A and B are shown apart, each in its own frame.
Chain A
Amino acid sequence: GNSVTQMEGPVTLSEEAFLTINCTYTATGYPSLFWYVQYPGEGLQLLLKATKADDKGSNKGFEATYRKETTSFHLEKGSVQVSDSAVYFCAGGDMNYGGSQGNLIFGKGTKLSVKP
């Protein structure tokens, strides 16, 4: 079945360091891919998305490119800030439940801590 695998944390970086969080997916077809961010005590917020191969999603300095050949959607940011400390979830469209009904399957999340 479909699955999303992302690197497990926690990840601790110093401010202005480069960030990469790896995400790979196994799916039937080519689902839309998403990165969500969860700040403490809050729900998930969409960070960026890509709907087809070679699409690059970007937002708030974060980027991820949908790589069909490696089935990957790695999240990157060139210079992290303390305010980026959160849990990041990679997600892909899930065809197992309801077919095209927009269900998502999530990775287990990666906790990022950025130190000043």
Chain B
Amino acid sequence: DAGITQSPRYKITETGRQVTLMCHQTWSHSYMFWYRQDLGHGLRLIYYSAAADITDKGEVPDGYVVSRSKTENFPLTLESATRSQTSVYFCASSELTGGLKQPQHFGDGTRLSIL
């Protein structure tokens, strides 16, 4: 089915471990985004990408790494997880059509707990 898929849905890991969250979209949207959702903060942008091989930092990028070798995939890696990175992570994608920014489409999220 067309859409945006995140995996895993739930993940528990330990401090200091590396963990990668996957995001895959089937629309061939140019733009992809990673957000984290925390109580009292709403959604905050971690990284975004305008196209394959083009990525840039958002509001809270420290401790995260992204890559985008293919248009449809945008994995997010926590190189050495910390407890402060316990959160719900959302991936989103969108397109720019005729100069207008189209709405972002969101995945169902990954709930990450770091012990």
* Interface residues of chain A: helix, strand, loop or mixed (majority): loop
Q: How many A-B residue pairs have CB under 8 A?
A: 67
A36 to B37, CA, bound (A): 14
Contact present for A43 and B109 (CB under 8 Å): yes
Contact present for B101 and A93 (CB under 8 Å): yes
Q: Of the candidates B43, B56, B90, which one forms a contact with A97 in the assembled complex, judged by CB atoms under 8 Å apart? A: B56
Those of B91-115 within 8 Å (CB) of chain A? 92, 94-96, 100-109
Contact present for A89 and B42 (CB under 8 Å): yes
B-side residues, CB < 8 A to A, are 31, 33, 35, 40-45, 48, 50, 56-59, 90, 92, 94-96, 100-109
- Given A42-B108, A43-B106, A43-B108, decide whether A101 and B43 contact each other with a Cβ distance below 8 A: no
A29 to B105, CA, bound (A): 24
Contact present for A103 and B48 (CB under 8 Å): yes
Interface size in chain A (residues, C-beta < 8 A): 26
Contact present for B103 and A98 (CB under 8 Å): no
Contact present for A51 and B100 (CB under 8 Å): yes
A32 sits at the interface (CB 8 A)? yes
Contact present for B94 and A89 (CB under 8 Å): no
Q: Report the minimal beta-carbon distance from B90 to chain A, rounded to whole angstroms.
A: 6
Contact present for A98 and B50 (CB under 8 Å): yes
A77 sits at the interface (CB 8 A)? no
Contact present for A102 and B58 (CB under 8 Å): no
Contact present for A103 and B109 (CB under 8 Å): no
A98 to B33, CA, bound (A): 12
A51 to B33, CA, bound (A): 21
